[in-house]
A and B are shown apart, each in its own frame.
Chain A
Amino acid sequence: MNPKSNPFSAAGSGLIRGGLSAYGEKIFGSGSEYVQSNISKCFSDPQYYFQVNDHYVRNKLKIVLLPFLNRVSEIFLVGIRKRIKVFLKTKIITEPVGGRLSYEPPINDINAPDLYIPCMSFATYLVLAGISLGLSGKFTPEALNWKFVTGMIGWFSEVMLLKVSILSLGGGEAPLLDMVAYAGYTFTGMCVAVLGKITLGYTYYLIILWTCLCMGIFFIKTMNRTLLSEVRSYDSSKHHYLLLCTALTQFPLMFCLSNTSGT
């Protein structure tokens, strides 16, 4: 097998070359092939999620943080059911390429999920939480490590929530890393919230409500995109209300994680 043709080779060959002797490489090689074939069954090629560039990152951040900029403002004047239907009509269709991954990579399609922004926003959230802890005099490295652990637990529970809600609608084919990406986008909202807390003090509560609303809207739109392409027969109203519930759970999650005046 061509050693460069599988997605883990770049990340894995460095470790193998650097540390292990030839004998260890023989053992490790056969083990890593087994692990790779199993991992690619449930993880679907992480390389795809990192094909980003500057332009994509900037525009995607605009979509995530201000998701209603390029929509008509009259959607806020109608009732809930009509509002969701307007959202449903305005999704952008991606072209099926064929094979297991039917979406274009993020570099070509602004709606595709990527893993660079969630990872970076998680790290930015940690740095900003460290600054906010330090400004209130409570900075210790152990507190920052605890924030890291709490953030990972929150991310993981959000992924589980998404997975359960998609499974309950009957479409089990959505790739796991997609859901990891969508769950990680909430960290961008949280970064803005913590930044607001550092700079502006009491307007922090307003900013948190605003970003929760934005993330909820973003969630509805993206979930709609993944769901409609996978699930063909569903109960329309049940679908809408489940989407709303998923969006509403953003609120307590963000409140918990961005509350840096706690532990």
Chain B
Amino acid sequence: MAREFGAPPVVFPSGGNPTVATGGNIQQRRVPTAPFQPSRPSNSGIPFMSFDIGSSATNTAGPIGGGIGPIGGAANFDEEEPLLDELGIHPDQIWKKTKSILNPFRVNPTFHKDSDLSGPIFLYLSFCLFQLLAGKIQFGVILGWIVVSSIFLYIVFNMLAGRNGNLDLHTCTSVIGYCLLPVVILSAVSLFVPQNGAIRFGVAGVFVIWATRACTNLMVAVADGGEEHRGLIAYACFLIYTLFSLLVIF
């Protein structure tokens, strides 16, 4: 039954109209195509940047469109850098640095001279993942504690080392982040250790001492001025890693 509407029907410039003949049956309505399809050239050296609604071909794209620029539409796709290199993440270096901490008795500091933060971020995420498996959602807490403790160690190290201390915050955070590896292993192991028992403290103690040794050796090797204050810096590192192990134990 055709109904008489007061207003004229809306005609879309391209795509289909809901046909009046079916009387507005909702099930039969086709999915309307987008009314503002611009004409996209197939082989594009031209950036895709038109956002005009309603007008068809001519784009009055202002500086906003021009500023977005060639999103992957560069002419030389094959000559782009690989994504990881462009982001500054070098997986083989991360793996070498992580492996150098795995030996608890002697830490090789040669790889840690150039600091990076992508390894620590990966270790932080795996720490949070193991905590999540234990039922504790502590993403923000762990990140906040890493930041605060690296600022703390940075201040203490530079104040102790005096005039010839040259530790910078990036290197400090990088070293603390990499030495979180024993704590990550502790959180994985503590998923299988019974909850109320002295063995929990014993296992945690072993890993904390491992992390402290690694951190102190790296700190003293990577930045100047720390050799005669080894014990004092070791105590500061010990406090930091005990704090993280508290999150795991309790």
Contacts and interface: CB of A to CB of B under 8 A. Distances in A.
Interface of A: 4, 10-11, 13-15, 17-18, 46-47, 49-54, 57, 115-116, 119-120, 123-124, 126-127, 130-131, 133-134, 139, 141, 144
Chief secondary structure at chain B's binding surface = helix
Given A18-B168, A120-B235, A134-B249, A50 B242 contact: no
Contacts of B246: 127, 130-131, 134, 139, 144
A13 B171 CA distance: 13
B250 A11 contact: no
Nearest to A120: B235
Contacts of A53: 228-229, 232
Interface of B: 138, 141, 145, 152, 154-156, 158-163, 165-170, 228-229, 231-232, 235-236, 239, 242-243, 246-247, 249-250
B38 to A, nearest CB: 38
A127 B243 contact: yes
Given A11-B154, A127-B242, A141-B145, 15 more contacts: A10-B166, A11-B158, A11-B159, A13-B168, A14-B154, A14-B168, A14-B170, A15-B169, A50-B156, A50-B162, A54-B231, A57-B232, A119-B156, A123-B239, A124-B239
Given A127-B243, A141-B247, A10 B163 contact: yes
Nearest to A9: B163
A141 to B, nearest CB: 4
A116 B232 contact: yes
A259 B156 CA distance: 28
Contacts of A57: 232
Given A131-B246, A134-B249, A4 B163 contact: yes
Contacts of B141: 141
